[in-house]
Amino acid sequence: MRVLPDSELDRYDRLAREHGSVFDTVAWTGLFGDSLTRYGIYDAGGTLRGGFCLFREKRLGLTVLRDAPYTPSIGPFFECRAQHPVARLEEWRDVLTALAEFLEHLHPAVVSVSLAQWVTDCLPFFWRNFKVIPYYTYLLSLNQTDEAILTGMSEVRRRNIGKARRDGLCAELTEDYSIISSLVEATFARQQKDLKREHLKKILFGFANASNSHSFVVFSNGVPIAGTFIIYDAHTAYYLLGGYRSEGKHHGAGALAMFESIRRARELGLKTFDFEGSVVPAIERYFRGFGGKLTPYFRVNKAWLPLEMALKCFKRGLF
C-alpha cells in the first residue's frame, strides 16, 4: 500500500466505480483537497488492485486519521480475483491485514475510521489491538413496487406520509441546492451541532449534478419546510443530507420528502437505498420506520496508549 501517484488516477477511479462506491471515486475524494490522501493497494506484481482514502487533521497539535466529512467510510475497495469462497476470504484477509499494519505504520496519535459495509472480517484489526465497534445503517431493497415499499413501513411512518398529502403538502424534485443548504444549516444550528460549511458547499455546488444526485423539497404554502439530498452510484442511493424548518413544520414533511427520494431512486433503476444510519436513538428510530434491513458495518479505533487512557474518560464507547 502506498500513496497513489497521479498517473494512476484513471485506473483507481475505474476500480472504485466497479468495486467501491461513489464515496471512493476521484470526483468525490477530490472535494477535500490536501487534507485527504488516496492510497493504492497493489499486488505482488505491482498492479493496482484497489484503494482507500484517509482524511488527516490536527487536534491540539496531534495528528488524527479519520473518514472525510460527510463520507461513511475510507473503503477499502479491491478487485478480488479469487473464485472459491475460502480463497476470496484469504485474499481479502491479506488486504485487511496489510491495511491494519499500514495504519499502524503511519503512527498517528489517533486513528478512527469506518470500513465499507462489505468488510465483515475485522480480525486483522482485532489482533492488532484496534477497538472494533459495530455501527448500523438501514438498507432498503428497491426491487419492489412503491406500494410494497409503503406497506413495509411502520404504521407511524405511513400515517406521517398520508397526513402530509391530505394537508396539501407537495414534494418537488429540485436542483436548487441553496434551499437544501439553508434547511441543513437551520437544522444543525437548532441542534447545536458543528456543520462543515466549506465541505457542504463543495458537495452541493461543486459535486452534485443530475448524474449523481437528486433532491426533494416539501413546500407548505410555497415555503420550503423540509428537504432531502441523495447521492448515488450505479447501484445504491445514499441519504446524505436533510433538514427542516421549525417555523411551519409538519410531522409528515420529512417523511414525504424521504418517500419521494426512495421512489426516485427506484425509477432510476437503483437496487438499494441506504439511509446512512445513526446510533443516535431518535434518528435510528426515524430511519427504522421506513422498513429497511438493519445492517452492521464496523469502525476501528486506536490511539497512543497514554492518549487512549485519557480518551476513555470522554469517549468510552470508542476507546
Q: Would residue 198 count as lying in a domain?
A: yes
Based on the domain organization, do 125 and 226 belong to the same domain? no
> What are 193's three cell numbers?
451541532
User: Do the domain assignments include residue 288?
Assistant: no
The set of cell numbers assigned to 63 is: 495528528
pLDDT for 277 equals 77
Per the structure, the count of domains in the chain is: 2
What is the per-residue pLDDT for 231?
97
Q: Is it the case that residue 134 has pLDDT exceeding 80?
A: yes
For residues 141 and 282, which has the higher predicted lDDT (pLDDT)?
141
For cell 479491491, what's the residue? 78
| AA identity, residue 9 | L
Section 61-81 average pLDDT: 95
- Whose cell is 423539497? That residue is 217
Shortest CA distance to 229 belongs to which of 211, 241, 219?
241
54: phi then psi, degrees, rounded to nearest 5: -130, 135
Biggest CA-to-CA distance, the chain? 64
pLDDT (tens digit per residue) in 163-175 = 999 999 989 999 9
Q: 290 lies in a domain?
A: no
Residues in the chain, overall count: 319
Provide mean pLDDT across the span 83-106: 96
Q: Which domain holds residue 229?
A: 144-270
Query: What are the cell numbers at 298?
Result: 464496523
Q: Against a cut of 0.85, is the pTM above it?
A: yes
Q: What are the distances in angstroms from CA 74 to CA 16, 69, 185, 236, 270?
A: 12, 11, 25, 17, 23
Could you tell me if 85 and 207 lie in one domain? no
pLDDT in tens, 197-222: 899 999 999 999 999 999 999 998 88
Residues 215, 118 within the same domain = no
| 212 is a domain residue | yes
The verdict on 62 and 129 lying in the same domain is: yes
In a domain, 256, yes or no: yes
For residue 278, tell me if it sits in a domain. Answer: no
Whether residue 265 is contained in a domain is answered as: yes
**pLDDT at residue 39 tops 90:** yes
pLDDT band, very low/low/confident/very high, at 187 (cuts 50, 70, 90): confident
Q: Per the structure block, which three cell numbers stand in for 260? A: 419521494
Residue 238 in domain: yes
pLDDT-derived band at 115, boundaries 50, 70, 90: very high
